[in-house]
Amino acid sequence: MTILVTGAGGFVGRALCRELRERDFDVRAAVRDAGRAGDLGCDVVCVPDLAARDAWAAALKGVAAIVHLAARVHVMKDTAEDPLAAFRAVNVAGSATLAHAAADAGVKRVVYVSSIKVNGEATDGAKFSERDEPRPLDPYGISKWEAEQVLREIARERGLELVIVRPPLVYGAGVGGNFLRLLKLIRSGVPLPFGAVDNARSLVFVRNLTDVLIACATLQQARGKTFLVSDGHDLSTVDLVSEIARLMRKRAILLPIPARLLRMTGRCLGREDEVERLIGSLLIDSSAVRTQLGWRPPFAVAEGLLQTVEWHASLMH
């Protein structure tokens, strides 16, 4: 069985290609720039423009399933003149082009990796679930929700089996963004202003995510479903920082700064969203994927954080 991974040069894509190879799947990796993708250890095809239908022919030959990770991703300071249009051009139009090309090529299944941002930015009490009415708020989340709708329509028209997966923040070896910055801050030993934060967030270890993506690509009972996935063990920011510091053999210095002051500071610095992801709550009910696919995360949070910390330590040498 040949599985095509789009966005294979990214954090999750690399981990997924590695996991598929280890399980003896035939893997084809689609990347935007082959020169920057590095050694993925599998067949690599270059697709510079997701929305160019002709570019997919070689990539899709003999493919049974696609895990579609390629996207214009959320960025803190977007320089696009019209961010929503820029997200739509890649995440909506590009995904639609891929789906049509996949149907033309006889591909059976497409697993679309969406985002929990389709559900919303934060939870207050009840956890997010697949039953919620989507409430995306930023251009990235809106484009992901629009892509889901377009893909569902194409799947109905063209006979594709579509599976949608909405992960929260993903961590693990190779992580970037806010999580990598947090690792650096904890390792530096500087005091962090989260001692008074009372929140809880769902995360997913990258190897748990790759495991569930393979299940979604291969199991018959996943067909047509939408799943929210997480490690199943939620953490407060205080607990997350404390556990990472313990694994690094560092002392976590957490200053009890009130959350309202942190939010005010975030607004003043133009980093309100970044602050909210550290002090707000975002909880996921991942029971559907466990019940319907019989899936269980192969790695506990403690093991996922340990592997992440060990990877980060290796960068220091």
**CA 96 – CA 99 distance, rounded (Å):** 5
Q: Which of 56, 140, 179, 205 is catalytic?
A: 140
Residue type, 103: A
Query: Is 171 annotated in the active site?
Result: no
Q: Which two tokens stand for residue 86?
A: 């820029």
**CA 242 – CA 251 distance, rounded (Å):** 8
φ, ψ for residue 140, nearest 5 deg: -60, -50
b/e per residue 103-138 (b: at least 16 CB within 10 A): bebebbbbbbbbbbbbbbbebeeebbebeeebebeb
Look up tokens 């009372």; give the residue: 198
Concatenated DSSP letters for 18-30? HHHHHTT-EEEEE
**CA 138 – CA 3 distance, rounded (Å):** 31
**CA 172 – CA 85 distance, rounded (Å):** 31
Torsion over CA: 102, 117, 10, 113 (sign): negative
Contact by Cβ (8 Å): 99, 156: no
**Which residues are the active-site residues?**
140
